Structure formats: structure tokens, C-alpha cells
Amino acid sequence: MQKRDDKKREAIIAAAVKQFSSRPFHEVLLDEIAAAAKVGKGTVYIYFSSKEDLYDTIVLETFDQLLAELRRLADGKANAWSVLSEMVRHLMRWAYRNPHFYRMIMQSVSDRVKPSLVRKRKDLGDVFGIVLRRGIEEGDFEDSQPLLTAQYIPACVRASVLYGPVKLEVDEAVEHLLSFLESRLRKGQQL
Amino acid sequence: MQKRDDKKREAIIAAAVKQFSSRPFHEVLLDEIAAAAKVGKGTVYIYFSSKEDLYDTIVLETFDQLLAELRRLADGKANAWSVLSEMVRHLMRWAYRNPHFYRMIMQSVSDRVKPSLVRKRKDLGDVFGIVLRRGIEEGDFEDSQPLLTAQYIPACVRASVLYGPVKLEVDEAVEHLLSFLESRLRKGQQL
Amino acid sequence: MQKRDDKKREAIIAAAVKQFSSRPFHEVLLDEIAAAAKVGKGTVYIYFSSKEDLYDTIVLETFDQLLAELRRLADGKANAWSVLSEMVRHLMRWAYRNPHFYRMIMQSVSDRVKPSLVRKRKDLGDVFGIVLRRGIEEGDFEDSQPLLTAQYIPACVRASVLYGPVKLEVDEAVEHLLSFLESRLRKGQQL
Amino acid sequence: MQKRDDKKREAIIAAAVKQFSSRPFHEVLLDEIAAAAKVGKGTVYIYFSSKEDLYDTIVLETFDQLLAELRRLADGKANAWSVLSEMVRHLMRWAYRNPHFYRMIMQSVSDRVKPSLVRKRKDLGDVFGIVLRRGIEEGDFEDSQPLLTAQYIPACVRASVLYGPVKLEVDEAVEHLLSFLESRLRKGQQL
DNA sequence: TATGAATGAGCATTCATTCAT
DNA sequence: CATGAATGAATGCTCATTCAT
């Protein structure tokens, strides 16, 4: 008897991510996912209850994992700017390393207007908001709308990945975005 | 007689925009559009050759109109920062005034991965790039990646509309985004 | 524009009855029904919301019509035996004239265990119970379990249609069943 | 070792009967049967070659056993009426004792239109026909269509079990049906 | 021009059967 | 023998598009 195999689940997720990130939900065929994962179509239904469940599971799991990593960084003891830098670097690297995943989770919001997904996207911004606020409290940052600035960050990362210059290196992208944030947030400091 | 036709065409477009902006392409039913526009389903096919044509026509027409307006502003003789400010203000106000249109054209990229639409989205960024470059050439701005910065702008407008604080006024949003850009771009000047 | 056509609805029902009466629900393909009715598959869904709805609608409509006819007869002023005879004759003739319908509604009970259908089948027996009780009250019939006897009647009609001698004429079947009932019910009278 | 096998086979049959008697063939899942029998799904295929074989085996084995019992009774030396009474009593008691089995074999005819099963159902009626004919030959019974009357018997038993008054005792049901048969068959005798 | 009934290609999902363990 | 994970053929239903009126 074969054992329930997490490798198979991962293969399905990997195949699905590739499909979902390059085409909208309704254009992705389960046949294709199964074929790409080299499993039977029925196998997909052993691990996920529906195509929608497969999609949501991927987005939510991925989002949650990414959020957890960012939250861990956000809890760092270093000064706000160092922490923020690390977080931006982490997010950008993650996005460059997992372009499929990133496209998928970032477009999941517009692609399918699920409240749970919109909330997640907001959470992604808000995790940066935490650090921005701390920086302000500590007199390190200056910003009248930290929650709005926080939302800019994933938005700019998205713009970098999707529309940025083709040959842009990830670390260049990080530095560029950080320079914007620094200028804006640490106005006073710079003088 | 032209009037009559145009009224129907506009009614269809208005109904379609509302639908397309809140659900992905494939979840929007032609039945719903026709019903919302208060025309028969067949009538839609008199004005548009297909659902896809309806969608693309809206996005392209809207994009083109918005781009034309921004290009006109971009050609202004005033200094780069003034021009950029006007453009940001214009885009943000347009987005706040036409949230459905804006959602639709901004998600059209992920919703349907058509090269022509991705190109339009890039064009939207690039129109800001023109002014950024001029500002750099004139020694007014400082930026190693103006084309990347240019892409930030529609991305941040999108973030404001979709995830910004609920009660944020449009002009506050404009000021905030401008301050974000100014701090970095005009570093030298500020001193 | 074509008009919604009751002829089409009837064609679908006729085709469906033929299929449903000769094979169990799950073996009947919607493709076959549509093909037999000479309509597109989608057309079936204009008139019925699902295969199940199509099935239930047929059984319930048919049952209700047959029940209404029998109830009308049951309300007759003639003596109980005359009324009962007419009802048996009506049911048997109906069954012989509509063997497909009769098979379908009689097997609907076992085919799909829907409470609403089981109830209808009981109602079919009960309509005979009304007359049996009247006959008893009027001293014409003698029976300790009229509701049970009432259920025998559709059961025997079913047995006639499904398992009776092949060349049995409908009126012979009626006479035979009536004699079966009369001997017992009118024991006293016969002396 | 035989014991062990047979226990499993019986468990599967018992579980299957319960399922098949309450839902049509195609709605019963092999998963459910296996689960109810507390064996693996594959195990079912060790004892039966297919779901269809499982179903047919049950119906045929059960029918054959019941038929054999009734045939043995039919061969009795007592007078036709006594024999018939015993047979009716036997069938009714069997039906009340094995409502699941009885439902299943009686609906097997409509559930799956297999000639072999329709034949069995006819055989069930015919075994009563044997005795009816003997009674007629012996001048004890009077009936122009004994084969039809014979088919009434299982039909009425079915009606009793499925639609009879809820609190009806089995022996009351027997007496009731017998009183109908007696009145009809022994018209002359009663005077 | 305007309509909406009709169409059928297209796709998610189910479930009997197989087979590696 | 026993298992249950894996399979994919089979099928109900959807919805963009057509076309008779």
C-alpha cells in the first residue's frame, strides 16, 4: 500500500503555483495541474477538496508563512531602521526567489475578491506598519501616515518584480526601495 | 440616432466596468452585464464583437485616455517637480473618482495576461519616467533607477485606493505620496 | 426571437420519461435525453434547473395529476363499490396507456428514496382508502385494515403491468383485480 | 481459516444489503460498504469481482434461498389452501424479519433492469402459481388468472412492508392478506 | 436595430477499480 | 491475504455566442 505522500502534495502545489501565477484562476485547468504534477486528476482531490481549496490553501499557506517570517523580523530588538531594512530585503528576496508564488499571492487579491485574501494583503502591509510606528515612537522616523507608507512597500516590491527593468538585480531593487523609505522616514536624521 | 447608439454603448460599458472591477474576467457573466445595462444579451454583440473585445476595449480606451491626459501634463513647460506633482495629483484624483475603472485597469494585467495590456501598464509607469528623466537631466532630481521609481507611482496609487486608510481624503493621499517621492528625489534640494 | 415553447418542455419530458422508465436515474444521461428530445443539452437547463429537478418534476406532476383524477372519482356520489371500480379501472387503464410513466412513478419510490416521493406513493394508496372507509361506514364493505387494502391496489396494478401475463388485456386485468377485491370486501353482500 | 473468510464475506454482504436496500445501486459507494463492513476497499474485490457482482450475488443468492424455501413448502402434501397459507406466512415473516433484504430484492427489478433479476421476480410469483393451479385442479380454488393472482402476493407483501400501517404486526398482515386470497380463491367453498 | 431562447464545447468533479506495499 | 492511495473515464452543468423573430 502506498503511503500518503507529502512529496505528492508538494508536487501538486508546485505545479499549481506555476499555473496559477501565469494565468487567472478560471483559465487554469485541473487537467494541466495534474499533468504537470505527474499525478492523476483524482489524486489532486485526495489532497485538496476542490480546485478552489487548492488555490486558497496555497495562497493562505504561503502568505501565512511569509507573514510569519516578516513578523519574526519585525520583533527584532535592533533599531527600527535596521529592522525595516531587513524586512524589505527579506520580502524582495523572497519575491525574486519565488516569482511564481509572489505573482500568485499578490494577484490573488484582485483575481478573486475573497475577503480573507484581501485581509491577508492588508496584513502584509500592516506588518511593516508595526515597525514604522515603533520608529516614530522612538523618534527615529517621521511620518503622518505610517499605515499608508507601510502599504507602499509591498506595492513597490510588486512593481519591481512585475514592471521593473529586466536586468535589475534583487539587491539593487532592495537598495533602491530602501533609499526611498529612508529619505522619507528619516528626513530629520539626514541633516 | 448617434446619440441613441452611444447611450447604449455607454450603458454597456458602465455596467461592464462595475462588474469587471469587482470580479475576475471569467466570473463576470454576459447575462449580468446585459441585465445591468438593461439591454438584451444580443445587443452587446452589436456594439462589441465578443466579451473579450468588450473588456479589452474598455481597458485600452480608458488607459489610452488616461495616458493621453498624463502625457499632455508631462509635456508641460514647468519644472520637473511641478509637472510630476500635477501628474500624481491627476492620477490619484482620477483613481479616486473612478475607483471601478482604476481597479479594472490595474488588475487587467493579472486578470488576463495579454501582452498588450501588460505593455499599457508599463506605459503608465513610463509616462512618469519621462518627467523623472527630465528632472535628472536638469539636475533637479537624483535617481539611479528612474524607470523603477516611475513604476512605483501607479503602484502606490493602487495601494492607496485599495488598502489605504478608509477615511483618507484624496488630497491627503496625493500629498503623502508626493512627500514620499520628494524626499528621495530632491535630496540635494532640500538641504 | 424564439418564444419559450411549451412544446419543447413537453418534448423534453416525453424523452425523459422514456429514459427514466427503462433505466435507473443514474444510468440515464442528460445527453441522451437532450438528443432524444432533439434539443441542445443547455435547453434542458432552461426548463429545468437540474437533472434531479427534471426527474422530480415529472414524477410529482404526473403523480399529482393522476391523484387529482382519482380524487375526483373518489368524490363520486355513487355507491362505494361503483366508485372503487371506476377508480381501479381508471388507474389500470392509465397504467396500461402510460406504461413508461407508470413504471417511472412506481419505481421512483425505490429508485430514489426521497421523502416527498414516498409520501406521494402513500397518497396514491390513501386515495383508495377514502372510498374503502366510506364503504365500511355505509355497511357495504367489511375490512379491518382498509388502509392496508388500499395500498394493495396500486401494488397489484404494478404487478399486472410488470409481471402479468403478456397478452393480458387491460380490461381483463381490471376485472381480475376487482374480483380479487370484491370477494373479500363484499363478503356479506354476495350471499 | 474458512471461518475467517466467511466472516468477512458475511460482513461485506451485511453492510452491502443495508446500503443497497436504502439507496439505489449507483448511489451506494464502495467506500461506504467497505467502511461499514470494516474492511479495506480492496478486500471487497477479493471476495467479489466487482460492485455489480456483489449486488447480483446478494440478490440472486437471497432470492434463490427464499425461492427454495417456498418451493419446499409448495411441495407439501397438505391441501392447497394450507400450503398457500404457509407460504404466505413464510414470505411475510421473512420480509418482516429481513426488511433490508426484502426491499433490496424487490427493488432490484427496477433498480437495475437485468433480465436475470426480472426473471427471478417472476419466479417468486410463479412459485405461488404452482399451488394456485393445484388448488384449481383439485377443485379447491377458483381463478381464471392464477398466474396473475400469484403475482399479487409478493406485490401485496411488498405493499405491507413498505406502506402498511406502521404498527401492523406481521401476523396481522398475514391474516389480512390470506383473508383476501381465501375470499377470492374459495368463493364456492364459503357458502 | 434589438431580443433572449437555443446551442454545445468545455471543464470540475466523482468513484469503481487497480496495485504497490 | 489485506490495504487504501492512486487513477482517469465518465458525466452534469455553465455560459459565450448565435440567430430566428
How far, in Å, CA of D177 to CA of D170, rounded? 11
Spatial CB neighbours of A19, under 8 Å, sequence gap ≥ 6: A28, A32, A33, A36
Which domain does B41 fall in, by range? 1-48
Q: pLDDT digit string (tens) for C44-91?
A: 999 999 999 999 999 899 989 999 999 999 999 999 999 999 999 999
Question: In the predicted model, is pLDDT for residue D111 greater than 80?
Answer: no
Number of domains in chain D: 2
In tens, the pLDDT along B48-71 reads 999 999 999 999 999 899 999 999
A72 and A26 in a single domain? The answer is: no
Asked if A52 contacts A39 with a C-beta cutoff of 8 angstroms, the reply is no
Q: Is B127 in the same domain as B76?
A: yes
Q: What is the pLDDT of residues C99-143, one digit of tens each?
A: 778 877 776 666 556 778 878 888 999 999 999 999 999 999 999
The answer to whether D114 faces chain C, any CB pair under 8 Å, is no
- Secondary structure (3-state) at A98: coil
If you average pLDDT over residues D41-62, what whole number do you get? 94
With an 8 Å Cβ cutoff, is A100 touching chain B?
no
Q: With 50 as the cut, is the pLDDT of residue D2 above it?
A: no
The conformation of residue C26, written as its DSSP 8-state character, comes to G
- When mean pLDDT is compared across B90-94, C40-44, D187-191, the lowest value belongs to D187-191
Q: Do C41 and C134 fall into the same domain?
A: no
Q: Distance (Å) from CA C3 to C1' F11?
A: 30
Instruction: Evaluate whether residue A53 is within a structural domain.
Output: no
Residue D113 domain flag: yes
Is residue A191, in this structure, part of any structural domain at all?
no
CA of residue D110 to C1' of nucleotide E13, angstroms: 28
Handedness of CA C5, C11, C17, C23 (dihedral sign): negative
Residues B136 and B180 in one domain: yes
pTM: 0.87
Give the containing element (helix H, strand E) for A133: helix A115-137
Q: What is the CATH number of the domain that holds B6?
A: 1.10.10.60
Distance B39 CA to F20 C1' (A): 18
Three cell numbers at A184?
522619507
Specify whether B20 is located in the same domain as B81: no
- pLDDT tens for each residue of C145-190: 999 999 999 999 999 998 899 899 999 999 999 999 999 888 766 5
Instruction: Tell me which of A47 and C120 has the higher pLDDT.
Output: A47
C1' nearest to CA of D35: which nucleotide? F4
Name the residue closest to F15, CA to C1'.
B29
User: Considering only residues 52-71 of protein chain D, which place a Cβ less than 7 A from any atom of strand E?
Assistant: 52
Domain co-membership, B130 together with B74: yes
On whether any CB of chain A is under 8 Å from the CB of B191, the answer is yes
The DSSP output letter for B15 is H
Rg of chain C over CA atoms, in angstroms? 19
pLDDT band at B1 (very low <50, low <70, confident <90, very high): very low
D51 CB below 7 A from strand E atoms? yes
Q: Is the CB of B7 under 7 A from strand E?
A: no
Return the partners of chain D (3 or more C-beta pairs < 8 Å).
Answer: C
Lowest mean pLDDT among B19-28, B91-100, C74-83: B19-28
Identify which has the larger pLDDT, B185 or C31: C31
Task: Protein contacts on strand F: list nucleotides below 7 Å from a Cβ.
Answer: 1-21
Question: Do B128 and B38 fall into the same domain?
Answer: no
Q: Answer yes or no: do B64 and B42 share one domain.
A: no
Which residue did the predictor score with more confidence, D63 or B152?
B152
C41 CB and strand E closer than 7 A: yes
**Testing the interface with C: which of D18, D123, D148 to mutate, by most C Cβ within 10 A?**
D148
Please report, for the domain that includes residue D148, its CATH number: 1.10.357.10
The whole-number pLDDT of residue A1 equals 64
Q: What is the 3-state secondary structure (H, E, C) of A67-93?
A: HHHHHHHHCCCCCHHHHHHHHHHHHHH
- Mean pLDDT, all residues of chain B: 90
Residue C82 lies in a domain: yes
